[in-house]
Chains A and B, each alone.
Chain A
Amino acid sequence: MSEPKHSYKKLILNGIFSENPVFRLALSLCPAVAVTTSVKNGFLMGAAVLFVMTMVNITVSLLRSFINPKVRIPAYILIIATYVSITDMVMAAYSRAAYKEMGLYIQLIVVFAIIISRAELFASRNKVVPSAVDGIGMGLGFLGALVLVGAVRELIGKGSLVGIQILGKDPLLIAVLPTGGFFAIGLLMGLFNWIDMKYFGGKPDSGGGHH
């Protein structure tokens, strides 16, 4: 992964499919279970992560020769926390409506494994532009996964999609409870692996064990 040349298209697709943070790397599953009770929640969280991850990757890449390797982990956490706090403060002041929806989640982003993992494995070893693209790809993969899990849980748990009623009222409430989050993610992860094996010849154990 640390070759100097990167195809941007490949980097984006890498984040969305072959190294999808949720379905393949199984990172940041805690928020993926906690917030994906509906499509809207999943989307808002994913969008915030996409922004923070891209900015963190850019910053870590810019500072990669400045940060002393021995204190790189605290340095990365500081950078992540700074961006998260900025996002939180700016949204609290300038976009109240969105903040009312997302305020509950934003501060959680500080501890997302996927962000520090990309800072360590990619941004600290690559130039700025590929790092930004990697952040966008991984962010999109995370966003897509959360929206997908949110869609499954909202449809089964509340009978609606993006707030619009489709089935009857509350068909199977367990889907929006935390238990249902594990079910939904497990089943989707299985589906992802099955598609990958069947059509792309991927090995099921290529994800998960991410150092």
Chain B
Amino acid sequence: MGEILKITLNLVLICAAAGVILSATWAMTDPVRVAKEAQEREQALKALIPDAESIKPVKDVKIADKDGIIYRADKAGRPLGYVVLSYGRGYASFIRVLVAVDLTGKVTGIDILGHGETPGLGDQIDQSWFKDRFKGKVLEGLVVVKTESTREIQAISGATISSRGVTRAVKDAVEILKAEREKGI
């Protein structure tokens, strides 16, 4: 009986020490992480619509069961375009995408905020040559094809499912934005 108590106490002490160290580290680092993530999102939004004087969230929406946000970019009190924080299911993760859409419903650019796709294959969705494939696309062009195409989205070889995940996120963003604008935002 004494033996089992000693062993338990031993492990409890180690757990307690680990807990203290981890909570101290978390308390020190988490505010910094949250602040930097917000700053990064702000920069990503600005880079997508550089002419905007302000980019403000106007509506929370559900995309792929996750919390998406519609931002409106304004200049001199008039809207320039919209940015949607959207999600798409990729090969191994949900891909977080910022989609910039102009007033006519055309995609003007996208940015990948975060993903957990396969290193070396799926993570190429974050390369600018892939993100540029979405520029100038309208709803009809947001389809993944495996052949060379400028009208549709050409898949990354070896990462078709990740390519589809991003395209899904962009397409949902454009559709939801269209529906919300008809309701008025």
A residues in contact (CB < 8 Å) with B: 34-35, 37-38, 41, 63, 66-68, 70-71, 74-75, 78-79, 81-82, 85-86, 89-90, 92-94, 96, 104-105, 157, 170, 173, 176-177
CB-CB under 8 A for A92 and B33, given A41-B119, A68-B7 = yes
CB-CB under 8 A for A67 and B10, given A89-B29, A92-B29, A93-B32 = yes
Q: Tell me if A93 and B30 are in contact (CB < 8 A).
A: yes
A68–B6 Cα distance when bound, in Å, is 8
B104 interface residue per 8 A CB criterion = no
CB-CB under 8 A for A75 and B14, given A82-B21, A85-B22 = yes
- For residue A140, give the distance in angstroms from its CB to the closest CB of chain B: 22
Q: Tell me if B7 and A96 are in contact (CB < 8 A).
A: no
Q: Tell me if B15 and A93 are in contact (CB < 8 A).
A: no
- For residue A150, give the distance in angstroms from its CB to the closest CB of chain B: 9
- For residue B155, give the distance in angstroms from its CB to the closest CB of chain A: 13
Which A residues are CB-close (under 8 A) to B21?
82, 86
CB-CB under 8 A for A170 and B157, given A75-B11, A79-B18, A90-B29 = yes
Q: Is the interface of A mostly helix, strand, loop or mixed?
A: helix
CB-CB under 8 A for A104 and B33, given A82-B22, A86-B22 = no
Q: Tell me if A96 and B36 are in contact (CB < 8 A).
A: yes
Q: Tell me if B29 and A41 are in contact (CB < 8 A).
A: no
Which A residues are CB-close (under 8 A) to B184?
none
How many residues of B sit at the interface, in one of the four size bands? 20 to 34
Who on chain A is nearest to B119 by CB?
A41
Q: Tell me if B25 and A86 are in contact (CB < 8 A).
A: yes
B121 interface residue per 8 A CB criterion = yes
Docked complex: B13-71 residues within 8 A CB-CB of A = 14-15, 18, 21-22, 25-26, 28-30, 32-33, 36, 40
Can you report 8 A-B residue pairs in the complex whose CB atoms are below 8 A from each other? Answer: A37-B118, A68-B11, A74-B11, A79-B18, A82-B18, A90-B25, A93-B30, A177-B121
